Amino acid sequence: MTYIKQFTSKLDKLNFRNMYQRDFFLTWEKTFDEIIATYTVADALRALREGNVSTKIFDSGLGISLFRDNSTRTRFSFGSACNLLGLEVQDLDEGKSQIAHGETVRETANMISFMADVIGIRDDMYIGKGNAYMREVAKAVREGHLEGVLEQRPTLVNLQCDIDHPTQIMADMNHIIHHFGGIENLKGKKVAMTWAYSPSYGKPLSVPQGVIGLMTRFGMDVSLAHPKGYEVMPEIEQVALKNAAASGGTFTTSNSMEAAFKDADMVYPKSWAPFAAMEKRTTLYGDGDLEGIKALEKELLAENARHKDWECTEQMMQATRDGKALYLHCLPADISGVSCKEGEVAASVFDRYRVPLYKQASHKPYIIAAMIFLSKIKYPQQLLEELATRNRPRFLGF
């Protein structure tokens, strides 16, 4: 049990009591101690699993997943996290539900939650809709529990919305922490969160917004760069400025990928759609204006094509600190000459960082599991130590 003490001793110094029986919507709604507690529990769960110790804290129960957008990594990370803790996953296919027949959000939320302990939702395509929908579901199951309909209140985990992608960005940040050998080594490091060209349109804003909303909390110098017209939500930029001021870091914006990459320790070149265009897209879909949607898509693809030079090339990487910045991406990346003719990143750059990128993604199941764990367990240190002491094998053939 000695090895688990490094994690429980760290938790003893943190104040995260308010995470118990709470949901996880946006990273900037959590205190810094709560963020660090999530990383600590994620690392503890990983250490237990790597030591072949079972971390099943549930004997039964469901994790409900609702994906309103396509997903590989997040879908399987949610399933892995639920399984790690002993929950079975049931996907809510809205096309096979009664939602099309007028079933309300309140009714659906309660009907799927009789034995559910967590609900994970991805709803990222429409500005002003995704995060609001998640909160409506959370409110419905909270009321269902208080009214005696549900024996337990399911925790809601944001698997990506129109504002933030907390499970992804938390995983990215844990990868950075491990890469640089601890939080204490991050002060003053430069992060370049930049737009990059993609031959597709309508990519969510939640990744760049999540990056500037979280990474500014670690005393780093965060640089957001994009072509003119590709601005993110102004209120999230204000969150980033406030975070940077509190942490002793900086947050700057520019219209130059080269300037952002210069002396950067980390680069995150990723395409996204302009905030104004996403607002317009949401209105068009709400009005059922299919012709307007087609016209907007054509307009945005043409605008994207004007910025094909926003690509993470070998030359661009040479401008980073010692030419060896850590390349980050949420995946899948648009790889020039591989997944598309011209895209976000040169094939040689991507291939060189392929293994670190996969390691970056590997943190996500543990981050999601930690979010669930901290919401469900009142005394996490005690249970982590109990799991280690019990030492029940996860796999008998180990």
Domain residue extents for the chain: 2-164+364-390, 167-361
Strands (E), 32-124: 62-67, 88-91, 116-123
User: What's the length of the chain?
Assistant: 398
Q: What pLDDT score does 103 carry?
A: 82
Q: What pLDDT score does 96 carry?
A: 65
Q: What pLDDT score does 350 carry?
A: 98
Q: How far apart are CA 64 and CA 347, in angstroms?
A: 37
How many helices, marked H, and strands, marked E, lie in the chain?
16, 11
Q: How far apart are CA 258 and CA 97, in angstroms?
A: 49
Peptide bond preceding 332: is omega within 30 degrees of 0, i.e. cis? yes
Q: What is the CATH number of domain 167-361?
A: 3.40.50.1370
12 phi, psi to nearest 5 deg = -60, -25
**317, HSE (Cβ side, Cα atoms, 13 Å):** 20
Q: Which residues of the chain are under the pLDDT cut of 50?
A: none
Q: What is the CATH number of domain 2-164+364-390?
A: 3.40.50.1370
| Fold agreement between 2-164+364-390 and 167-361 | yes
pTM: 0.97
Sign of torsion over alpha carbons 370, 374, 380, 383: negative
Q: What pLDDT score does 398 carry?
A: 65
